[in-house]
Structure 1
Amino acid sequence: MSNLDKMLERNKDFAAQQFAAGTLMPSLPRALPNVKAIIIGCADMRVDPAHVLGTKPGEAVVMRNIGGRITPGLLEQLGLLGRIGDVAGEIPGGGGEFHIIVLQHTDCGITRLAGDPAMLMDYFQIQEAELKAKAVTDPRAAVAGDAASLRAIPALPGEWLVSGLVYDVATGLVEIVVPPAPIRTA
């Protein structure tokens, strides 16, 4: 049995035991008010935000990339999500508390690219002089820098909260590096 066959078997179990039509993905205008967070995390298979943070279907939009980093590509995706909400006439969180959570982790594969500045410059779309500020070898500094970069985006609603977390792959625990705070204070 191939890996895909195993996953398809698990999907049959999921569909039979957990899925209720319409509950996991209601129509878009009804879906967005139930979302409580956007979680930006790493693509590393050890760090699935649904398992690490215990999110349930419909509670969070999860966006994953190498390192769980704020990159131009991720910002473009955030813009597209905002436009989807505009078209649907809905605001994520439905006017309630809403978080953007940056979730990075220890022992991240991006640290192995520290010796390849050209690749990192391309990924972040920056010049070499700006690479040190990306702190690719230090997840705590990286998550703090990425949370700060989100706060600098004027298009994000000021009342949204931004948090920065680091997951320790050795212990399974999450550390709050950037406590939840509004993107901008009044």
Structure 2
Amino acid sequence: MIDTDELAKRNAEFADGGSFGNLKLLPSGGLTVIGCVDPRVDPSDVLGLELGEAAVIRNVGGRVTPATLRTLEMLSKVVQARTGGPRPGAVHYVVLHHSDCGITDLAAFPELLADYFDVPAGDLDAKAVTEPAAAVRVDVGILKQKLPAGAFVSGLVYDVATGLIDIVVAPARVET
């Protein structure tokens, strides 16, 4: 188990590096990644992101749920408060799912999943919980309906066995 003493030691090493000193609140890469909480799939490592390049939202399965949409709305309000308007420059949202995801085990608990997605249990098939590529397409479709025009959205599936990503949905601009 990693205890707080170890965390404090690691933090001191991080702080000594000073690489965080000039970071801004808004991601320098104009990127927001929605990914899974699985410790094998840290989006920063998997996608080679540097500190400050992306905002990362993680939840079970990396899914676009009502809670995810509320988080995105809150983030847009933070941006408005800081900049006086929408996020400047190109904005890219990436849905990152992965193989061997634990959410597939939750298919045996339809009531739990229905609550997670805020849908009736009978509508769970439309969420493609057991198929990562299909789930990416579902979630990208939801984002395209909810995000402002001009944002880019794409979808990836990470293979935990090979370490490679598959581009399931190429980046596309959200239309009005």
**Normalised by the size of structure 1, how large is the TM-score?**
0.88
Q: Is the 8 A contact 1:32 1:90 kept in 2?
A: no
Is 1:118 the counterpart of 2:115? The answer is no
d(CA) in 2 for partners of 1:73 and 1:87? Answer: 21
The amino acid across from 2:167 in the alignment is I
Q: How does 1:61-100 map to 2 (within 5 A)?
A: 61-88=55-82, 89-92=84-87, 94-95=88-89, 97-100=90-93
Match of 1:142 in 2: 135
Pick closer, same or farther for the CA change 1:90–1:54 going to 2, 3 Å: farther
Report deviation, 1:5: 2.0
- Name structure 2 gaps, 5 residues minimum: none
Report deviation, 1:7: 2.1
d(CA) in 2 for partners of 1:46 and 1:132? Answer: 26
Match of 1:175 in 2: 166
Report deviation, 1:3: 2.8
Pick closer, same or farther for the CA change 1:4–1:80 going to 2, 3 Å: same
Per-residue deviation, residues 34-78 of structure 1 (Å, max 9, x unmatched)? 341110000111100110001112211000000000001111110
Q: Is the 8 A contact 1:69 1:146 kept in 2?
A: yes
Q: Secondary structure at the match of 1:176?
A: strand
**Divergent runs of 4+, >6 A:** none
Pick closer, same or farther for the CA change 1:77–1:182 going to 2, 3 Å: same
d(CA) in 1 for partners of 2:166 and 2:142? Answer: 20
d(CA) in 1 for partners of 2:138 and 2:43? Answer: 20
d(CA) in 1 for partners of 2:117 and 2:104? Answer: 14
The amino acid across from 2:61 in the alignment is G
Aligned-pair identity (%): 48
Report deviation, 1:6: 1.9
The amino acid across from 1:109 in the alignment is G
- Name structure 1 gaps, 5 residues minimum: none
CA RMSD of aligned residues (A): 1.7
The amino acid across from 2:119 in the alignment is I
Pick closer, same or farther for the CA change 1:2–1:133 going to 2, 3 Å: closer
Report deviation, 1:2: 4.9
Q: Secondary structure at the match of 2:126?
A: helix
d(CA) in 2 for partners of 1:61 and 1:110? Answer: 22
Q: Is the 8 A contact 1:67 1:104 kept in 2?
A: yes
Count of equivalent residues = 175
Q: Secondary structure at the match of 1:113?
A: helix
**Normalised by the size of structure 2, how large is the TM-score?**
0.93
